Chain A
Amino acid sequence: DAEITQSPRHKITETGRQVTLACHQTWNHNNMFWYRQDLGHGLRLIHYSYGVQDTNKGEVSDGYSVSRSNTEDLPLTLESAASSQTSVYFCASSAGSSGTRNEQFFGPGTRLTVL
């Protein structure tokens, strides 16, 4: 069965360190997204990609970067982790084009703690 996975599921790191969160999907979807979830804010979009070599900034992109070298993966990098980036991170993918193909499929999430 097609799926979307994230690793690690839990991560503790220190302020200033570089951290990379992995996202891998086997849906063969063009579109991939990264969100962070914080109490009182719902899900906020960090970065997204509509295909290989395409990346776009979302609502809360400062301090984060992504790259898309293949269809299956969209790793999220925190260049220099800050305590404000402690959060739960969700990756999602969608087929794109119009109508029902807007539906996004979500990974299980990564809980990141920055000390």
Chain B
Amino acid sequence: AQSVTQLDSHVSVSEGTPVLLRCNYSSSYSPSLFWYVQHPNKGLQLLLKYTSAATLVKGINGFEAEFKKSETSFHLTKPSAHMSDAAEYFCVVSDRLSGNTPLVFGKGTRLSVIA
């Protein structure tokens, strides 16, 4: 069985400071890992994905995440927060070797950016 734990339900940072959103996963298989972002009243957009290539994954809008198998973590980071980064972020896991496994979502982390 697969599961995802997002360690913070809400993170607040000042504009221009680093962002860290934490995610731990559990998977019986070789995982694919994703981060999705949802802006208010919008659908979900893929930020980045890990599918077994480089363990440091770069995504859109300056975000990146590092896959650490020993720690079963896939934390999302950004060096400098922008006001437009304020949104809900979801960490997601699936079975990499079988595309026909539904995604399992974390409960989300709401990122607030203070001017």
Contact = CB atoms under 8 A, between A and B. Distances in A.
Interface residues of B, number: 25
Q: Is the interface of B mostly helix, strand, loop or mixed?
A: loop
Given A95-B99, A102-B32, A102-B94, 13 more contacts: A31-B99, A33-B103, A44-B105, A97-B100, A98-B99, A99-B51, A100-B51, A102-B51, A102-B101, A102-B103, A103-B34, A106-B36, A106-B45
A40 B107 contact: yes
Contacts of A104: 103
Interface residues of A, number: 30
Given A99-B32, A100-B49, A108-B43, A41 B100 contact: no
A43 B105 contact: yes
A87 B52 CA distance: 35
Nearest to B107: A42
A104 to B, nearest CB: 6
B96 interface: yes
- Which 3 A-B pairs have CB atoms at the shortest separation, nearest pair first? A42-B107, A106-B44, A97-B99
Nearest to A108: B43
Given A103-B34, A103-B49, A98 B98 contact: yes
A109 to B, nearest CB: 6
17 contacts: A33-B103, A40-B107, A42-B90, A42-B105, A42-B107, A43-B90, A48-B102, A96-B100, A97-B99, A98-B97, A99-B32, A99-B51, A102-B99, A104-B103, A105-B46, A106-B36, A107-B43
A1 B97 CA distance: 29
B102 A33 contact: yes
Interface string A48-77: 101000000010000000000000000000
